[in-house]
Structure 1
Amino acid sequence: MKIYCYILCVLLCGSCGTRPDKHPNTGRVITDALQREVVLPDSIQRIVCIRASAIRLVTYAGGAPFICGVEEQETRDNCFTHLFAHPELRQKPIIGPSMGGDPELIMAARPDVIFMSTTTAGDADALQQRTGIPVFTIEYGDIGHNRQTFYNSLRSIGEVLGTTRQVDSLIRYTDRQIAELGQRAQSSGKSPRIYVGGISYKGQKGITSTDPYYAAFDFLKTDNVASVIDSAYISPITGTYIDWEQLADWNPQVIFVDTDGWPLVQEDFKTRKSLNRLLTAYRDRQIYTLWPYNNNHTNFEVMLINAWNAGKVLFPEQFTDIDVTDKANEILTMFVGSPVADSLVRNWGDYRNVFGTEKNTLNDMTDL
């Protein structure tokens, strides 16, 4: 009798402090971004996405219908393209704050798998152990130099969810778009000196906040004057900044401004009147807006739309057949599943030359 009691105690103690594994070690085994072998059920019906824009990548891969809970920020009034395309996501149960959610709330949503970005193998393992739910990590990458990382994540998500056909179609489409942008621009035989300012990093920034690796400019194979900045001074997290005098020294022929930073950029021009005349782009009224792409991590579809608009500005003869709104809806449908360009225009405004006639332009400042 004592032996039986001892065995029972060992079994009970062995289970203390752990949660039953919702998914036993049977099913598919798929390797995630951190080279973890994750055991997944054969059929996935419900998912959640945590940390920086995991939900956006999953939406790109056709996963929006699987989402059964969202981080708190997804329920706010944010300009996220995936929320414009899938407003029902705002009504999903909240699984905790951004950048990690809450394990108890995640379990309450009953997902079959947790997609997790911007993490470590240790954090992913700890969450998986605590919830008893498979945690599958993904890496964000970008649509420029790290495009293959982005594509690999899409393929992994597609493999998990069974949306491989949709993922393959999106990847082919993106490659065709980038190739066509480059071909059109190169056929012009021109490469104007250009600059983009007002890039947001954890809040609005002025004209001296830039992006030396601005993907839209790379697609067009044009001369981004900031690309000469030493990599030691470039950060995708805290931002890349220059002196105003450096901008005057580069003297770009065309300046683009991120719409999110436009209020501060406008103030920059007002407070540096003597330097405005040093800028060819200012004297020639060649300053244009681009939509904000750095909105809770990079919005790849917005960057691609920005490239087509920049192409029309820089190479009008080669892009005369392109209607930017039509192109935006085409891209948005491929990436997030719905033509929601009108929603973006309502929030960010139309692409425009800032020397316009409407309110909040530089039209009244050309004599400065």
Structure 2
Amino acid sequence: MRMKKRRKKLILLFCLCLALLGAGCGTGPTIKSHTITQIDGREIQVPVDPRRIAAVYGPAYEAMVVLGAEDRVVVCADVQFENFPWAKKIFKRIGKLPYLVNVHSSVSTESLLQYQPDLVFTFARPNELRQLETAKVAAVPGLTSQSLDDVKAQLMVYAQALGGDAVHAAQRYADYFDKKRAMVKAVTDAIPREERPRVYYAGVDLLTTYGKYSDICELIEDAGGIAVSGGLAAGNRTQINFEQLAAWNPDYIFVDHGGMNDRNTVEQVLKATYQTKRYQAIHAVANRQVYLSPSGVFYWDMGLQKILLLLYMAKILYPQEFASLNMAQEVQEFYRDFYHYDLTDEEAERILNRQDP
């Protein structure tokens, strides 16, 4: 009897070893992966339930907070907090994490791999993506949205890469986005084109703008304006000359992205605009209708606060039609629901006025 029992135990042990070997025992743990599809259609293999995340691409850290994955971030980028004091105040960990430098120029793969990420949200630069592929580290490149719907779609791609509750968080953001956008368009869609103001959106400096391959032109149109750069065959932050701006002669100018890459701040851009003689003939300058886009934890024209930019612009272009729209309350609602932070009335006003905490 004892011999039979012993034989059964040996057979069970042998079967268990075979099963472990079949699962990869002896060659290191097998990481399960699945396929997600980026907004441009490319398919990307990512690990199931990634636990060590590198949020390197500019808007990626903000997305991790909204998706409930901030605690999984092991390294970020200097630009995500150096220009945004509100990020260090509102995001729980960003000021305590190690970070990579000069990411707008290039990301050092060697430095990045020191933090042993199993998933990297990074820039869409082919050489860097190839290096991560060679190192067998999954990477999701961030893409510039060409339509407002891409803002929601890109967040959902990130959510699908993270898995779990992140997908529900992304859908909640999408529902909010659609609700606020519909609220604005219910008013602006009824405004005839001949009654709409001409709007120019500047980034980095006054002669850098956004063309038809950017979602900013669509945002301007939704807010009730005419995007003067809508026929420009370009994407984000494209250089033009003064003659082009003068020919467009916008009624309103909005400025964002000041201070990027050690350039002038938006406040300096605004001051120079009003003081430069040749700009005085432009309607927006002559009528003191040049506005600075708020930023808060990140640029409003790049990250998930873009829906707030739509509300903000509509309120400026049509103050009477949107008299009941309280931007301070809208900012407070957004920060509470998506960043999990309760702004005071004063803090909300400071964000709207581009003031530090």
Per the normalisation by structure 2, the TM-score is 0.71
- Aligned partners of 2:58, 2:67: CA distance in 1, in Å? 16
Partner of 2:228: 225
Partner of 2:236: 236
- How big is the shift at 1:235? 4.4
Percent of paired sites with the same residue: 14
Partner of 2:274: 269
The answer to whether the Cα contact below 8 Å between 1:95 and 1:105 also exists between their aligned partners in 2 is yes
Distance 1:83 1:135, change over 3 A: farther
Secondary structure class of the residue paired with 1:227: coil
Cα-to-partner distance string for 1:225-256 (whole Å, 9 max, x where unaligned): 3324x31xx3425x23242x554444433343
The one-letter code matched in structure 1 to 2:198 is I
Determine if the alignment matches structure 1 residue 29 to structure 2 residue 28: no
Distance 1:36 1:124, change over 3 A: farther
Q: 1:1-368 to 2 correspondence within 5 Å? A: 24=30, 26-33=31-38, 35-38=42-45, 40-41=47-48, 43-74=49-80, 77-79=82-84, 82-94=87-99, 98=103, 101-103=107-109, 105-120=111-126, 123-130=128-135, 132=136, 134-142=137-145, 145-161=146-162, 162=164, 163-187=166-190, 191-196=195-200, 198-200=202-204, 205-206=205-206, 208-212=207-211, 213-228=216-231, 230-231=232-233, 234-237=234-237, 239-243=238-242, 245-258=243-256, 260-272=265-277, 276=280, 278-291=281-294, 298-339=301-342, 346=350, 349=353
Runs of 4+ off more than 6 Å: 293-297
The one-letter code matched in structure 1 to 2:341 is S
- How big is the shift at 1:166? 0.4
The one-letter code matched in structure 2 to 1:192 is R
- Aligned partners of 1:297, 1:183: CA distance in 2, in Å? 22
Q: What is the aligned length?
A: 312
- Aligned partners of 1:287, 1:95: CA distance in 2, in Å? 35
Distance 1:28 1:81, change over 3 A: farther
- Aligned partners of 1:47, 1:147: CA distance in 2, in Å? 26
**Where does the alignment leave 5 or more consecutive residues of structure 1 unmatched?**
1-19, 352-368
The answer to whether the Cα contact below 8 Å between 1:44 and 1:112 also exists between their aligned partners in 2 is yes
- Aligned partners of 2:300, 2:294: CA distance in 1, in Å? 14
- Aligned partners of 2:174, 2:274: CA distance in 1, in Å? 40
The answer to whether the Cα contact below 8 Å between 1:72 and 1:96 also exists between their aligned partners in 2 is yes
- Aligned partners of 2:54, 2:332: CA distance in 1, in Å? 27
Q: Which moved more, 1:62-71 or 1:76-85?
A: 76-85
**Where does the alignment leave 5 or more consecutive residues of structure 2 unmatched?**
1-25, 259-264
The one-letter code matched in structure 2 to 1:325 is A
- Aligned partners of 1:66, 1:155: CA distance in 2, in Å? 18
Secondary structure class of the residue paired with 1:29: strand
The answer to whether the Cα contact below 8 Å between 1:194 and 1:252 also exists between their aligned partners in 2 is yes
- How big is the shift at 1:196? 2.9
The answer to whether the Cα contact below 8 Å between 1:47 and 1:114 also exists between their aligned partners in 2 is yes
The one-letter code matched in structure 2 to 1:68 is V
- How big is the shift at 1:29? 1.7
The one-letter code matched in structure 1 to 2:197 is R
- Aligned partners of 1:296, 1:282: CA distance in 2, in Å? 23
Secondary structure class of the residue paired with 2:198: strand
- How big is the shift at 1:297? 9.7
Q: Which moved more, 1:319-328 or 1:309-318?
A: 309-318
- How big is the shift at 1:109? 3.1
Cα-to-partner distance string for 1:67-90 (whole Å, 9 max, x where unaligned): 12223444x532176544314212
Cα-to-partner distance string for 1:319-361 (whole Å, 9 max, x where unaligned): 111111111222344444435586675477269xxxxxxxxxx
- Aligned partners of 1:334, 1:210: CA distance in 2, in Å? 31
The answer to whether the Cα contact below 8 Å between 2:56 and 2:122 also exists between their aligned partners in 1 is yes
- Aligned partners of 1:106, 1:21: CA distance in 2, in Å? 25
Q: Which moved more, 1:101-110 or 1:149-158?
A: 101-110
Distance 1:95 1:263, change over 3 A: closer
